[in-house]
Structure formats: structure tokens, C-alpha cells
Structure 1
């Protein structure tokens, strides 16, 4: 299934179990606390881990995702009633409605074509107030993370809330310039095997900076790791961007 972790309820449960709170979430919460911010957008919120935490910290959070099963799982979590959940994508974003927007969890990699990526950045710029911040993350292609996205390196056991375990592994292959195709396999205790497929696009630092500038953003900070290491100097192998929305040009 295409993006099955977000669309198939059994895989959504597995996804949630495999992605508990991590150091990246601590990073995002610190960034959010850097300024007085009220209206927050979490685009591609998944099962809502970060959105619920941001709302719990006192922010007015709108969490947007295309996948109904993910939103259903998010709404069942403690604290979910503090978040405004929206089923949709960039096309649903109101203008000048947010002080800060998050596009994290490597969601940027799933916007594969230049057209998709440019349209998303333009919509995010329109949804932010002037000087509003955009925080996004994507894996650094210099680190070539996909080299380890095959069995046996990716084989793991994921323990679900009921104590049962799912055997999981990933296979990957180049899908074109700067893109990698992945297939995630999940073997359940009852013998059912479900798969999830996706294509990831890896943009380097120069491409990210250029696309953000074209969309009307000013890159303020760019890191390579969750401890704010410079790009290329962290084992995390990330490109973490904090950008500000430039004033709109008058016609």
C-alpha cells in the first residue's frame, strides 16, 4: 500500500509504537520556545505526538494531515482535545493564519517533484505572517542514508501496546535522480504480512536554500544535527532549517 503507515489502521498502530518521543521532538519544542508564539501549524502531523505536546505547552495548534487513520489515532490520545485537527493538505491552509509552521518528520522528502515542493513552500509562505518561521527537516543526501535501508540492517521487532511484536524490515532501491524507492515490510503474529511503499526525494543544502528563497523565505539557521551541529558535521545526517517568511512584494 502506498504510504501504508498512514492509511492502513494496523500499520498506523505499528508506526505509532515505533516512533515514541525523541530528541528531535525536544529540539522542536526548544525552537518553539525561542520566541513568543501563539498560532502554530503542524503540517503532516501524523499521529499527533508533537502537535499534542505543543498544545499542552499553551500554543494554539492546528494539525493537518491527509490520512484519516492517522488523525483518528491522534484524536484518541490524551490532550488531543486541545488541538484543532484538519484532514487536508497545503490547499486547505488559510492565509496569514500562523506565526510558525512545522514540516517535520521528514515529510519534506515525500514531496518528490519540484512542482509539489514549490507549491507546498508557496502555500506555507502564504499561511504565515511576515517574519513567521518555517521549521523543516530532511535527511542530508551527503550522508547517503539509503545505503543502510536494506535487510539485514533494517530488520527489527516492534512491540505494540498489547505486548505483541511485529517483525519489520525495509528494502530500498534508486528510483531516479535524487530519489529512492522504499518498501517497508511488516509481519504480524497472526502471519499477515503488510507492506508500505514510498519514494523519498533528497535535496541537498544548496537546493533547500534556493527553493526556500524562491518561495519567499529567508534561511536564518541550518543545522546538521539535533544538537545544532553544522551541516555535514553530525552523525545525525540531517538538514534542519529554520526560515523566516519575507515581506510580500507589492504589485
Structure 2
């Protein structure tokens, strides 16, 4: 995960994903709480919170949220947007090693944070972190790329142009499928143009893992979880499907 979410990328992040429905995704998360939780859920840990979009939305719904991210550039933007948004705190930390003194009712990994755990070492460390920060009966919710769908429909190249105030942002992405590693390496170039001049030009390579159902069930069991739901995302009423890349899991701490 080194070398990603640096200052140039972080500065354009919210504009690039302005059309992403955080409210709909938080609806899905809360619905999974109701389906799988054993009692009222109030304290949430958002691992890999980024610029705080989900954390702020959930705090506004009355949850007590702690957002953790390893990127100070992303956290700086989260803190700028956070004042007055409910019971909310942000801290620098790693999803593979963060430990809180007090357990949470739920742990979240939103926007494919789990996919950034591309090695088995990172993946198992992230699951151990989720379990260590949960009370018994608490829930772990994560969205991820669903392996059967990725194998059937591998990635290509995409170009997006986003208007942000008086600037234009060009996001160019090129995905390279590495099936033997269950990974996709995405080279992302972000160019910000203001008044006809290039203001910023940066490139990062994001290596993302995809997951299969039996793999997830076994890994969760070995880290003290019971897999309670494997669904589409953000429409959790649908099952995970080989026709859709996005899926979500909900697991209960045992």
C-alpha cells in the first residue's frame, strides 16, 4: 500500500468520486447491521476511512465513529469536513495493525479497503485487526471485488473528465489483470488543469485483490468470525453475482 493516496491524489479525491453515493452505501451498511447484529450498534470503527465521506455520513446518523487511515493527506481533508458532524474522531493508523483500548460494536472497511490487502500477510493482518477491535457479537462489514465477476469481465482502460470549480480533472486509469495473484494493478494518472494550465500531474499504481466466497469464509472462520451474509453492493437484497464486480460481506465476531 506504500506510494498511494499521496498529496496530489488526495487533493483530487473528493472531486473524482463526487458522484459516488455514500448515503446509499451507508444505507446498505446500516441494513447489514440490522440483519446480522445481535443488539444495538452505536460505536463504529471505520478502517481506511480516507477523506471521511462514509464516517461523516454515519456520524450524522447518530453513530459514534472513529475513522482511521494511514494517509495523513487524506485525513487532513476528512478533518476539514468533519466539524459539527456528530460524534466523530479521526486518527492516523494502519488497517493491518490498529488497536483501540475499547472494543467497538462494528468495524467497517468501505470502498474496497479490503482489496488493498493484496498479500495473504496483509489480508490476514487486516482480519485480525478487525476482530481485535470488536466485542463478541459485533459485526464486520466490508465491500470488495467479487472474484467470479472479475475473472469473467477483466478490466481495461478508462478516461474520466471531472469539473471541479474552475478546474478540470482528468483521471486516466489502466488496469492490468494478474490472475495468478488474484490482483489487478491499476495505474491511475490524475491531471488537474486550471485556466488552460496544468496545475498538477501525478501517477500512482494501486494493486487491488479480488476474493472468492469459499476463500473469504475460511479466512473469516480462522480469525474468529462467522460469515453471516454475502451480498450485492450497495443493493444488499441481491446475492453476490458473477455479473457484478461489487459485493459486500457481513461477518459476526464469535
Normalised by the shorter chain, which TM-score bucket?
Answer: 0.7 to 0.9
1:103-118 matches, cutoff 5 A: 103-118=109-124
* Number of residue-to-residue matches in the alignment: 240
Q: Distance in 2 between matches of 1:43 and 1:28?
A: 14
1:224 is the counterpart of 2:232: yes
1:47 is the counterpart of 2:51: yes
Following superposition, the deviation at residue 53 of structure 1 comes to 1.3
Cross-structure match for 1:89: 94
1:19 is the counterpart of 2:17: yes
Cross-structure match for 1:169: 172
Cross-structure match for 2:146: 140
1:129 is the counterpart of 2:119: no
TM-score calculated relative to the size of structure 1: 0.87
Cross-structure match for 2:126: 120
CA displacement 1:22-42 (0-9 Å, x = unmatched): 132331243346652111100
Following superposition, the deviation at residue 92 of structure 1 comes to 2.7
Identify, as 1 or 2, the structure richer in strand: 2
Distance 1:27 1:73, change over 3 A: same
1:177-192 matches, cutoff 5 A: 177-189=181-193, 190-191=197-198, 192=200
Kept after mapping to 2: 8 A contact 1:96/1:126: no
Distance 1:96 1:243, change over 3 A: farther
Cross-structure match for 1:249: none
Distance 1:128 1:134, change over 3 A: same
RMSD: 2.3
Q: Which secondary structure does the structure 1 equivalent of 2:81 belong to?
A: coil
Kept after mapping to 2: 8 A contact 1:212/1:218: yes
Structure 1 window deviating more from structure 2 (22-31 vs 162-171): it is: 22-31
Q: Which runs of 5+ in 2 are unaligned?
A: none
Cross-structure match for 1:206: 214
1:72 is the counterpart of 2:76: yes
Kept after mapping to 1: 8 A contact 2:33/2:139: no
Q: Distance in 2 between matches of 1:55 and 1:200?
A: 28
